[in-house]
Amino acid sequence: MPRARAAAPLRRHGPAACLAIAVALAGCATLPEPTGDQVRADALNTVAIPPNWSAQASQAQVDQGWLADFNDPRLTELVHEALARNPDLLIAAARVEQANAQVDIAKAQLLPAIGLIGRGGNKPIADLVPLLSGVMLRLSWEIDLWGRLRYARNAAIAASDAQNADYRYAQQSLAASVARAWFVATEARMQQQLAEQMAERGGQLVGLAEQRERLGIGTSNDTLASRAAAANFDDAAQRARLASHSAARALELLLGRYPGATLQAATELTPLPAPVPAGIPMDVLNRRPDLYAAERRVAAAFDKVGEAKAAMLPTLSISAGYGRLSNAAVRTRDDLEQTTSSISATGIMPIYTGGALTGQVRLRTAEQKQAVADYTRRALVALGEVEDALTADQVLAARDALLGQALAANTQANGQVRESWRIGKSDQRAVYAQEMDTLAARSALLGVQRERLMRRVDLYLALGGDYAGPAAASDAGSATPSEAPLASSDAAAPGSRH
């Protein structure tokens, strides 16, 4: 079998030489992705970011673990329940898993594919091929000459980083939403109690008006007016009751519970924590997970441009096989060996594709511009959220003080009216009327206090502060993907990507 012996040296030495050449050709580096500073400089080149916030605020670093600042164990318990059961967060976690799987798929494209090919049969047809039986080990590998596959891998890693950051921000947003819903539910319960007290006083005023009419010292108009006012107070109590149930259901939905309005809110609002250090505007751009996600999407778009450009260049694939044929098949021909091997290389050079490849480059370039513009939009929104929350905190603090003074004055007046009624200088109607004014003042103050708590949560979230401290985040990281670092291990090792 002279032909088989002549081919043997090629089978022994050819594959190793071809693989060495392939590895050398695949070593061409891809272009590095834009850094975070480069993305911010490009996206915000027309925006003059001031060194300090417009509203007065401490420039100290933002505290982490804002949930503990409220010192409300019940709120902390509800936040952790929501983090474990909220359906929207579970959807976000599934997206993280999908993005990680895409990274594995993209990395696999850089590796050889190895498989077994088997064939068997005992019924000959017209030629030799149907008689051949045996097993062959098959290897196929596309050599990444120009970095197309590596660009695809890098884009998948950047997209995975962005998805992980989105999940982290979803966690923070959920914690903030639960806190806001808890404050709303607590205020709604307290407002319901105030409305019911006012409705009770309205009914008592009706009784006094009817009594005065019977005694001849009151008129029917007074009685009708008191009845109309009492009906309005009863209506307000019903609306407050509905608002309380709706607030409880909204919180239950965030917790992943059945919305049966069975959750009992607190009877008093949580005290407002101490003022929050806001740092400087540039800190927000480096701290917020949603902005990091937008930054990584710019990097992914950059890699996709590189992938599209590399697709216009030639491709090289190699394939190799090694197998053994069955004895029955070999006996039909005296020039076949039982053991066989092969190696081949295929090169493809695109010449004309009707503009598809150049169109892909234009498409990916436009997507990169969109990603940069999206970062600009998100950065400006984030800065605006902080400015708005800081301003609201100052305005609401002033309103809190004014309404506190109004409540104090009404409370003092209520005491004076009661004393006047006790000594016979006024009737009980004045007492009830003043009590209702005091309840109304307390209701207005309660609304502002709840708004201040919600705005404080908004400020924590806008600044990029984490709801959990570093130790708590580290402990949770072993159980949930959300606590993983914003940058993946691949992103932290540029050499492994390029």
Local confidence band at 483 (pLDDT 50, 70, 90 cut-offs): very low
Residue 319: CA count within 13 A, CB half-sphere: 8
What local confidence, expressed as pLDDT, does residue 14 receive?
Answer: 47
pLDDT at position 2 is 38
* CB environment 342-370: b (16+ within 10 A), e (fewer): ebeeeeeeeeeeeeeeeebbeebbebbee
Higher pLDDT, 138 or 248: 248
Residue 245 pLDDT > 80: yes
- pLDDT value of position 416: 86
User: Which residue has tokens 């509800």?
Assistant: 78
Using alpha carbons, list the distances in angstroms from residue 310 to 30, 282, 498.
10, 36, 14
Task: Report pLDDT digits (tens) over 202-229.
Answer: 898 888 888 888 888 888 888 898 899 8
Confidence of residue 388 (pLDDT cuts 50, 70, 90): very high
Residue 144, helix vs strand vs coil: coil
Average pLDDT of the segment spanning 378-400: 94
CA distances from 124 to 131, 328, 332, 335 (A): 6, 12, 11, 19
* 494: confidence class by pLDDT, cuts 50, 70, 90: very low
The two structure tokens encoding residue 116: 């077994």
Tell me the pLDDT tens digit for each residue of 74-125. Answer: 999 999 999 999 999 999 999 999 999 999 999 999 998 888 877 665 555 4
Higher-confidence residue of 259 and 494: namely 259
246: pLDDT strictly greater than 50: yes
Give me the pLDDT at residue 216, please: 83
**DSSP of 207-239, one letter per residue?**
HHHHHHHHHTSS-HHHHHHHHHHHHHHHHHHHH
Q: What percent of the chain has pLDDT over 90?
A: 54
Across the range 58-67, mean pLDDT stands at: 80
Residue-level pLDDT at 237: 94
What's residue 120's pLDDT?
64
Please say whether the beta carbons of 179 and 350 come within 8 A: no
Distance CA 4, CA 323 (A): 15
Cα atoms in the 13 Å half-sphere on the side-chain side of 222: 15
Mean pLDDT of all residues in 142-170: 94
Please give the average per-residue pLDDT across 222-248, as a whole number.
92
**C-alpha–C-alpha distance, residues 115 and 137, integer Å:** 6
Q: Is 51 exposed, middle or buried (0-12, 13-18, 19+ CB in 10 A)?
A: exposed
Most confident of 59-63, 118-122, 381-385: 381-385
Mean pLDDT of 403-429: 84
CATH superfamily of 39-111+153-313+371-497: Outer membrane efflux proteins (OEP) (1.20.1600.10)
Q: Look up residue 420 and give its two tokens.
A: 């006047």
Q: Who wins on pLDDT, 7 or 393?
A: 393
Q: What is the pLDDT of residue 478?
A: 38
pLDDT top residue among 132 and 320 = 320
Average pLDDT, the chain: 83
pLDDT tens-digit profile of 13-59? 444 444 455 455 455 678 999 999 999 999 999 999 998 888 877 77
More confident residue, 196 or 23: 196
273-277, 281-285, 298-302 — which one is most confidently predicted on average?
298-302
What are the Cα distances from residue 39, in Å, to 152, 258, 303, 363?
Answer: 20, 44, 14, 20
Contact at 8 Å (CB) between 136 and 450?
no
434 in Cβ contact with 407 (< 8 Å): no
Q: Is 462 exposed, middle or buried (0-12, 13-18, 19+ CB in 10 A)?
A: buried
CA dihedral (210, 214, 217, 219) positive or negative: positive
Task: Read off φ and ψ for residue 134, nearest 5 degrees.
Answer: 155, -170
Grade residue 235 by pLDDT with cuts at 50, 70 and 90.
Answer: very high
Q: How far is residue 160's CA from residue 486's CA, in Å, rounded to a whole number?
A: 10
**C-alpha span between 314 and 440 (Å, rounded):** 78
Question: Could you give the CA distance from residue 160 to residue 148 in angstroms, rounded to a whole number?
Answer: 18
Give the per-residue pLDDT at 426: 72
Mean pLDDT of 139-157: 92
Determine the Cα–Cα distance for residues 119 and 114; give it in Å rounded to an integer.
Answer: 17
- Dihedral sign from CA coordinates of 123, 125, 131, 135: negative
pLDDT of residue 60: 74
Q: What is the pLDDT of residue 121?
A: 59
User: How large is the average pLDDT for residues 155-184?
Assistant: 96
> Where do we find the tokens 């505290």?
63
Which pLDDT score, from 0 to 100, does residue 490 have?
40
**Domain boundaries in the chain?**
1-30+113-143+314-349, 39-111+153-313+371-497
Where does the pLDDT of residue 477 fall: very low under 50, low under 70, confident under 90, or very high at 90 and above? very low
Phi, psi dihedrals of residue 49, rounded to the nearest 5°:
-85, 120
pLDDT band at 331 (very low <50, low <70, confident <90, very high): low
